[in-house]
Amino acid sequence: MKITFSPRHALGQADRMLYGHFLEHFHRQIYGGVYDPASRFADEDGFRADVIEALRRIKTPIIRWPGGCYVSAYDWRAGVGRERIPTYDKAWRVEESNAFGTDEFVRLCRKIGCEPYICTNAGTGTAQDMSDWVEYCNLRSMGRFARERIANGSPEPHGVKFWSIGNENWGGHEIGAKDAAEWGRLVRESAKMMLRVDPTIQLSAASIDDLDWNLSLLRAAGQYLDWISLHGYWNGSPDGVTYNDYRTVMLRTGEEISGAINRARAYLTALGLEGKIRVAYDEWNLRGWYHPNVIDIWNRDAKRHEDDTFYREQVIGPRDRNDSNAIYTMADAVFSGAFLNTCLRNCDLVKMACFSPVVNTRGAIFTHRDGIVLRPQFFVFELYANLLKETVLDCWTEGAPRMSGLVDGHERTVDTVDAVVTCGEGGYAIAALNKDPAAEQTLALALLDDVGREVRIHTLNGPSPDAYNDIGRTEVGVTVSDWQPFGGMVPLPPHSVNVIEIR
């Protein structure tokens, strides 16, 4: 495959927020994940220092919190102040201690060096509740809630710039789900109040790949919005253990990723909002979270209390399967690279993405008593966030190999090699994936301004498509070549993610 490019032909500027993450009060993401005062790795505030260091290593730019489905019944007031009263989490059916709330989240972000992005309760919450939360975070001293923040130990405003109105309120699974007309009105009225508190904030609202939903939302509230929020999970599981094989995952890396972005672009263009409203893909992962029987009204014969065997074994217990490290293989790494490459090719529109979640469940980091495991996806973020440049170039591609097959009964065809070229100070950085499970591919790079250069290749890979990392097991990692004269041809090993530096 040959790609031709020049710095004179740019697609746009890539925003570093494409490499963001997401954190929800689910299973071990908060407690036992980022926040674990009992751990020997805990810092003076109870945060896992090893997790913070890993998130700094991948230059985490932004974290979205507290949900997710959790937020749609969350009262933010329960998570602030010196006395925290535990509450029942109606989304995930567990007790929430409220030990980790707004102040802890902002403190965590400051330690990491990233922007906090707060998702508000648009399920059971009101426009008043949302705007009060902005008051707590962003007003210096006026009003009840700013004074509460000061009394709680934060004399300076938190200065939270990014806010989302709601989560997946388009879906019947969400507490406080809305129809399209209701949603447009709620977003409009909430945005008005939030912006009257702080007109400098940037607002997003829950969207979905649906024409009617977007037309209603954008007509009602588009003038107040900076973002629309999309979510994507491409591989669920009937049992939390069985997943698509590597090849099937690769066949999901084409239109299944790009289609929703293309249609969002069409909706915004049709309403004259292109250039004003951008897309935040603020939840995404190859694998959907496994949480069976969250709503189990069909099992009415089973008892419903915290000591019930059904509850322990069929609702809460199965969530542990999300943390089986053997699930997360080179398929996850190559898919993650394909998703980010798609966002980079649409960098004029997609300016934020939040991998779901930060830690544990499907996260790129797994915590245990004696340390952390870096799953294959982690190294994709390490390569992209540290090496890719700010300008994405338009490319001319020739001779692209293809792979085809059936996915869910439908024929799918995708490019075997997926490459995105970026340039900036010091030269070029090319993110190049080889999706083929067995065969090496060769990438020919033609620089229209070639004047004699050097090349170095960073390759993320393992011994097989199913390679993974676990406690005491490190199969997947990055190797780096020496700098050498650039000859125009670059080998791409099978099932690999590569960043090619040219200087």
- Catalytic residue IDs: 168, 283
The strand pairing partners of 10, in sequence order, are: 393
Token look-up 């066949």 returns 251
Instruction: Report how far residue 33's alpha carbon sits from residue 23's, in angstroms, rounded to the nearest whole number.
Output: 10
What are the percentages of helix, strand and coil residues in the chain, rounded to 5?
A: 30, 30, 40
3-state secondary structure 420-475: EEEEECCEEEEEEEECCCCCCEEEEEEECCCCCCEEEEEEEECCCCCCCEECCEEC
Cis peptide before 66 (omega within 30 of 0): yes
Kind of pairing between the strands at 417-424 and 427-434: antiparallel
Burial class (CB in 10 A: 0-12, 13-18, 19+), 370: exposed
* CB-CB contact of 431 with 463 (8 Å): no
Instruction: Report how far residue 475's alpha carbon sits from residue 454's, in angstroms, rounded to the nearest whole number.
Output: 29
Kind of pairing between the strands at 454-461 and 496-502: antiparallel
* Amino acid in the structure at residue 356: S
Instruction: Report how far residue 175's alpha carbon sits from residue 75's, in angstroms, rounded to the nearest whole number.
Output: 13
Instruction: Report how far residue 349's alpha carbon sits from residue 351's, in angstroms, rounded to the nearest whole number.
Output: 6
First to last CA, the chain: 22
3-state secondary structure 235-257: ECCCCCCCCCCHHHHHCCCCHHH
Cis peptide before 68 (omega within 30 of 0): yes
Cis peptide before 357 (omega within 30 of 0): yes
CA–chain centroid gap for 352, Å, is 9
**E-assigned strands of 110-198?**
115-120, 162-165
Instruction: Report how far residue 47's alpha carbon sits from residue 424's, in angstroms, rounded to the nearest whole number.
Output: 36
Tokens of 346: 């649409």
Length of the chain (residues): 503
C-alpha dihedral sign at 209, 288, 342, 357: positive
Q: How many CB atoms lie within 10 A of CB 295?
A: 9
Instruction: Report how far residue 445's alpha carbon sits from residue 184's, in angstroms, rounded to the nearest whole number.
Output: 47
